[in-house]
Structure formats: C-alpha cells, structure tokens
Amino acid sequence: MSTENEGTPVPADPAAPSAPPTAPVPPTSLDKPAGDAPAQATPEPAPEPTPQAAPQPSPSGDEPTAVQAPAPAAPHQPPAPAAAPTGGWPTPPPAVPAWGVPHPPAPPAPRRRTGGLVAAVLIASLVAGGIGGGIGYWAAERGDNGFSSTTVSSGQAPASFKRDPGTVAAVAAKALPSVVTIQAKSGGQEGEGGTGTGFVYDQEGHIVTNNHVVASAADGGTLSVTFSDGKTYDAEVVGRAEGYDVAVLKLKDAPKGLTPLPLGDSDKVAVGDSTIAIGAPFGLSNTVTTGIVSAKNRPVASGDGSGGSNSYMSALQTDASINPGNSGGPLLDASGAVIGINSAIQSTSGGFGQSQAGSIGLGFAIPVNQAKNVAQQLIKTGKPVYPVIGATVNMNEKGQGATIAGQGSGGTPSVTPGGPAAKAGLKAGDVITGFGDHPIDSGPTLISEIWTHKPGDSVKITYERDGKTATATVVLGERTGDS
C-alpha cells in the first residue's frame, strides 16, 4: 500500500487566511403595512355614536405596524362586533373584565416604530441567522425619521465565571502554554519548509515532535518554536528517529518557568476514552479539537510504502480532527495528560498519512509510552535504538501473516546467523502469525509490534511451517541508529 507522511510541507510563514467578506444584506420587510382601521357597527339603542379614530397613515413599508385594540364600549352597552380586517395583522379580541369589575382604562398604544423594529429584527434573525453580527449592526443603524435606534448587544460572561476541572476548556487552557508551533526551513536557496507542532518535555527546554516535521531542517536548515503567547525561540535538533517518527529539539535560549506536559500511560487507555488534540492545522496555531479513542494497536506504516525510511507504529486511533500541521502535537486524555503524539491520518487516497487532505475522522497517534522511551534515548545519546528479531520479512503480502523472506537485502541471509530469530529456531519461509498477544497479518504489522518493546524483552512468537503451527520464544536484539 502506498503511503505518505502526514504533514506535507507547506510554505513557511503562511499568511493567515482572511475571512470571506460578508455581502451586505438589505433589510427585507416580512410584513404587509396595515390597512384602514376596521369600521365598527353602530349599536341599535345608542344615545350618540361613539366617535371613531381616524385611520393612521401606513409607515414606510419595511416595518410591521402595531395594531391598537379598540376601546371598550360604554357601561351597560355590549361591545359591537368588528368587521373582518381586509389587510395587515388580525385585530386581537378585546379583554373581557370579570363580572362586576369596572372596565380598566385602555392601555396606551405601544411606540410604533420601536416595537415594529424589534419584531423585524427577531424575524430577520430567524430567516437570515447566518448573517450573524450583521443583524445587530442593522438594528443599531435603523434610527431614521427621527426615531431613536435600538441596539442589540450580546451579554458578557461574568468575570468570576470558571470552567470546571476536567472540561475541555479547562484542559485546553492548562495545556496550551506548553504546546508550540514549529517552523522548519531547509538550508537550500529555496528555503522550503513546513509547519508542525510539538510540546514541552522538560524544564531544560526539550521539545518532542515528529521526525517528519523537522526532517527538512535537520541538515543545515533553521528551526523556530512559537509558544501560545506569541514568543518565538530558535531551536536545534537533538536527535531523530525515522522509524519511530519521533524527534527531540532543544530551545537555544530556553526561558525559565517552562511547564512540561504530564505524560499519561497509553497502555491503560480504553476505547471510548475522551481525547483532546492540540496543534496547528494548516498553520492555524493553538487549535483544539476533541474526540475519543476509536481503537488501539492499529498497525500503521507512514511513508512511501517501500520500507527503509518508513515509520511504523502500533497506533492509537482517534476521531479528533487532525490535519496537516497537527503532526507532533499532543493527544491528551480528559485529565490533560499526554497519551500520544499525533502523527498520521488516513487519506482519501487510501494510504496512511496525507497529501494536504483534510480530516476524515481517522487519526493516528504514537503511544506515549513508546515515544517516551525514544525521547529519553535521543536526549541521552542523540541516536535511536530499535529492538529487532534478526530476520527479513516480506513487506508486501498481507492477510496471511509475516513471511520470512528467502534472502535479505543484497543477497544476505534472511535469518541473521546467531541472531534472535535463528536462536529461536525460525527459518526462511516461516509465516509469523502472532507476536505476544497480538495477531500478525503482515510485515508492517510485525514491525509495529516489535517496536513497542525494548531490546532484551522475551516475546512468544506463533508461526506456521509446512502447514503446521508452532511457537517459540524470541529474545529481542537491538540496532542503533537509522539505516
């Protein structure tokens, strides 16, 4: 399967995307102007006809007109029925007082233009809610014809409002000062590079990230690290592990008071646990997304699929939105502890990684237990150490297990003489179907599982030979550096 690294380089120092201009939306009348006031029928025995109010002139047509209820009839006189209105809002029925209670005075008529304006704003906000702040601005500027304007403003949260511990907002607020955006530029004339993410590992100024984030600047390039408060520091590479896709940087002039992110235990993570990812997707620094742990022990090969410089991981899968630029950033649990390093996504082309593809909800993170071991080794020696079984396996077949090849690279033996596999009795042609408690369906899956261990670990291997299943115990060897 062809694969690519997540976090394809993008132009350095990308300009922040500007919001598309919102086209002005003229206020639209949603109501008809009121027609003439309805005539009242004259009661039969009336000393004198009640004088009728003259019809009110219709306003400009872009606001609904308030309709005044008719005044109650004189005492001992039943109210006359009103004729059906011919236009505008229907006339509300008059209030009927309780028996023996004097008629209350007629309520004063509401201010016509202000009441109509509020109604228009409410209706417009339902119809054109996408306009957002434009509605409030239009309401504030509608004070024509000498009437005062109506201002619509949003309330402000009280200064004492606090997020409860464990909420996404509280976790993010605590973690963001320890997450950095990394700008990597190559040493060539073009100065190409990309943007990624990292997080503070210790108070000495070490930053953990992905190898593919800093690879372009590792030989003669430049690295800069920007914190959430906008302060930027130069950095240098301490060590890189291509196979693990882990790298460690060191701030050249580290400030005092750095707060390392706490490290969790990725072995104790359960499917369904909440996750929080922080990074700089497409250069948008300090972006926070949420999701859950969708699966564990996902075998992921991130690279070009040819082996060699590929990265392999038994990954944590999450549906938290991860995009190019999130690489190297922390995947946090609900307590704010790091459980993984965001490294790859499933692309729409079918490979792991992406070529500027967007998130489809399939993100993969290096388990922090593995990343911690690698980071400590890089800080100590500057070089990675890999556990090995001393056998070359077929990397193209999938579904039947990991088959030990007929020969190694350059015609060398596929099973290293005196190596761990040879000592366990494995031979060329054997198909490894289990490693420890995990089933093996391919060569990349086997490597992903081997690299979750340390040199010297004893692991039970299940394999098939000539149609028969057998088991053996392998004591893992080691290889230093990337080859």
Q: Which of 178, 224, 245, 294 is catalytic?
A: 245
Tell me which residue of 356, 366, 3 sits closest to 198, measured CA to CA. 366
Is residue 216 part of the annotated active site? The answer reads no
Active-site residue (options: 212, 224, 266, 311): 212
Residue 206 falls in the annotated catalytic set: no
CA dihedral 451, 457, 462, 465 (to 10 degrees): 90
Give the whole-angstrom CA distance, residue 477 versus residue 417: 13
Q: How many CA atoms lie within 13 A of 356 on its CB side?
A: 7
84: left (phi over 0), alpha (psi -120 to 50) or beta: beta
Q: Are 461 and 439 in contact (CB under 8 A)?
A: no
Cα 201 to Cα 261: distance, rounded to the nearest angstrom: 6
317 in Cβ contact with 305 (< 8 Å): no
C-beta separation of 168 from 278 below 8 A: no
The answer to whether residues 121 and 152 touch, using CB atoms and an 8 Å cutoff, is yes
Residue carrying the six token digits 């943007």: 195
Choose, from 178, 186, 294, 327, the residue flagged as catalytic: 327
The yes-or-no answer on residue 327 being catalytic is yes
Determine the Cα–Cα distance for residues 290 and 278; give it in Å rounded to an integer: 9
Indicate which residues carry an active-site annotation: 212, 245, 327
